[in-house]
Structure 1
Amino acid sequence: MIIARHFTPLSPWRGVGGEAGYLKLLMKEKNIIFGARMMSMLFTPFYLPIVGLIALFTFSYMSQLPWDYKLEVLLLVYIATIFIPTILIHLYRRYQGWTLIELGHKERRMVPYVISILCYFGCYYLMSVLQIPRFMARILVAALVVQVVCALINVWWKISTHTAAIGGVAGGLMAFAFLFMFNPVWWLCLVFIVGGLVGTSRMILRQHSLWQVVAGFLVGMVCAFVVI
């Protein structure tokens, strides 16, 4: 267990508070790790296209589109970019007999990258066939570019795709602000706060260093802003 790396067994006479103090500290550590895991699960890298579409439907002229059409697009993107890759990566992990922590090792991340890239490309192809407006398709292209760049970097260096996705949301918001002339400051503040929490959770879980977290955010932000 991760906790075992941080603590060594204490006798009731060692440390401040003895055994009671040790147990209290141990529970606090477990709660912090549990919170970090929940944060990582809630803000997975796959949510970038969905969040981008919701922002597009909120801040652009596409807010006038019928609700049933917007829900159909969101459902298509959810199935293709979240549900299917999540299931496939879970099955791959179970087949290999790895835990989530073990799957996070740099040399084991390439297959999940390939799965997500193929799913994103398939979603973009379906959107093109269905003639869905280009601004919606650009969000998929931005997410696809972020995944490809992160996969290429992962060959040499482990980069955080969690913060890359949050950075992509920030870059998309800035791009939409220029295109549709709205003030994104408060939304960007929220994104930066979430990005900080997600990055901190990845470091608590010892999945990434500070530089890997920051680099992921910058890669996502730049790629999304340029593509959109």
Structure 2
Amino acid sequence: MKLISRLLSWIFSPLLCPTYAVIIIFIISQLALVPAGVKISSVVATFITTCVVPAGVIMALYLMGYVSDPGLNNRTERTLPYLIAVICYVACIIFFYRANAPLWMLLFMGGASVACVVNIVVNRWWKISAHAAGVAGIVALIVRIAVDNLAIVDLFWWMTGSILVTGAVMTARVYMQRHTLWQVVAGAFNGFICVYLATMIH
């Protein structure tokens, strides 16, 4: 169980969730019809800006002694890395804006940015779960795609799978004693609400 929990935490790291989301968008939404080259460049750009760069910064901070753990398990050490993550999200939004991506896709990234800002604020006093926020944000994205009739496939299994993954990740974080039950619930609520409300704007 411990190994499974660790694997879930790594596979569904908050740094990877934006990339997963973009991949899902290109599979289940109308954007599945765009050229393969556009899909690949978009996924690569998302991966670099929201995963590679933040991960590199975190490792640099770890090597410099600013953070004691690359996993950022100490909530008091999360502020700067999370701020860097927000900047990276903004860079990703700019990329998609210049690529003429639809507004709802920009708003998804915007909602994820807001969720990250909420995490920064809450973490000053309480260790809210970024993992839960990340996976729940993907659930919100799929729900919005369904509600706005943007899907080109049956979303039942996508919805079911994303909810099960969210529950599994939340369970893993509690099992590993990285968070309490309420901290993962709060994280999931934060991620879902921020993305869902942001994507309603259009």
Tell me the TM-score normalised to structure 1 length: 0.79
Q: Which residue, out of 167, 171, 176, partners 1:205? A: 176
Amino acid corresponding to residue 168 of structure 1 in structure 2: G
Moved more, 87-96 or 48-57: 48-57
Amino acid corresponding to residue 199 of structure 1 in structure 2: M
C-alpha separation in 2, matches of 1:131 and 1:181: 17
Higher helix share: 1
Matches for 1:161-180 after TM superposition, within 5 Å: 161-180=130-149
C-alpha separation in 1, matches of 2:73 and 2:143: 30
> Secondary structure at 1:135's aligned position in 2?
helix
- Runs ≥4 residues deviating over 4 A: none
Amino acid corresponding to residue 8 of structure 2 in structure 1: M
C-alpha separation in 2, matches of 1:137 and 1:94: 34
Q: Which residue, out of 167, 176, 190, partners 1:196? A: 167
Q: CA deviation at 1:181?
A: 5.8
Deviations 1:85-111 (A, max 9, x none): 11111221222172346x311211112
The structure with higher relative contact order (CA 8 Å, sep 6+) is 2
- CA-based RMSD: 1.8
Contact 2:5–2:172 at 8 Å: present in 1 too? yes
The answer to whether structure 1 residue 218 and structure 2 residue 189 are counterparts is yes
Structure 2 segments unaligned to the other structure (5+ residues):
none
Q: CA deviation at 1:125?
A: 2.1
Q: CA deviation at 1:140?
A: 1.5
Matches for 1:33-182 after TM superposition, within 5 Å: 33-96=2-65, 98-100=68-70, 103-180=72-149, 182=151
> Secondary structure at 1:180's aligned position in 2?
coil
Aligned residues: 196
Deviations 1:120-174 (A, max 9, x none): 1122123323433323322211211111111111122110000101110111111
Change (3 A) 1:33 1:109: same
Contact 2:30–2:150 at 8 Å: present in 1 too? no
C-alpha separation in 2, matches of 1:51 and 1:209: 26
C-alpha separation in 1, matches of 2:68 and 2:47: 26
Matches for 1:8-27 after TM superposition, within 5 Å: none
C-alpha separation in 2, matches of 1:59 and 1:168: 16
Aligned to 1:187: 158
Change (3 A) 1:116 1:154: same
Q: Which structure would you say has the larger Rg?
A: 1
Q: CA deviation at 1:75?
A: 0.9
Tell me the TM-score normalised to structure 2 length: 0.88
> Secondary structure at 1:45's aligned position in 2?
coil
